Structure 1
Amino acid sequence: MHELGILMEIVKTVEKFAVENQVDKIETLVLQIGEISSVIPEYMKKVYPAAVEDTMLENAELEIEILPANGLCLDCGKEFHATVCGGICPDCGSRNMKLVSGRDFFIKEIVCT
């Protein structure tokens, strides 16, 4: 489970941001995770308390937004939700696609006071 290590690095990044911007309290941390990334949102939520213990984020809420795995059909140009469609373009039926999102991982927002 590499989610704990990822969260610990996020905590370092967020704390550095807080110090540089003279932030006293962080209320919410919002992460965006691609639906086919190697990071499992449920595991992130499970290990979050351990990762933030004794840090500025100890009382901060964790919010996770799932980014869809979108594909771009290289035959007709249609963008579509690749996992819902099974990698098949709903317009032309082609399997010739390029994944354009869904493996991403971002710190979207740090809500501070």
Structure 2
Amino acid sequence: MNTTKLHHVKSFNTAIADGHEPRLYSYHKEDVPTGEYHVSLDFMIWAKNIAGVDLFCTVTQTGQAIRLTVFRDRDEDYKLHNVYVPLIPPGSTLSIQVELNGREKPVLHKITIIEEPERT
């Protein structure tokens, strides 16, 4: 299946042109909560210097704007627990699990789609 035409990931310039502001989303460990919680997916951008997709989300309970990256895996492409991330529509509600890695950086370990926006 050719998924390149179906994905919802934007280039940085397209995201800016569409009115998104990536700088308002933090990826710092002090700002990204660990554990399991719900977020709203605001938009996604192809990562700049790595093979990955940056997810820009708003934490449902707190309103925090956070950024998490899903890295490309040689075998799974951009999948995380059987979810092909580039196909998740913006506006979706997600349940995510975030943990600190060995370098004390927040890493997205699990993603579950709770609700997708209605298609118009």
Q: Which has the higher contact order (CA 8 A, sep 6+)?
A: 1
Structure-1-length-normalised TM-score: 0.23
Greater strand share, structure number: 2
Q: If you compute each CA radius of gyration, which structure gives the higher value, 1 or 2?
A: 1
Greater helix share, structure number: 1
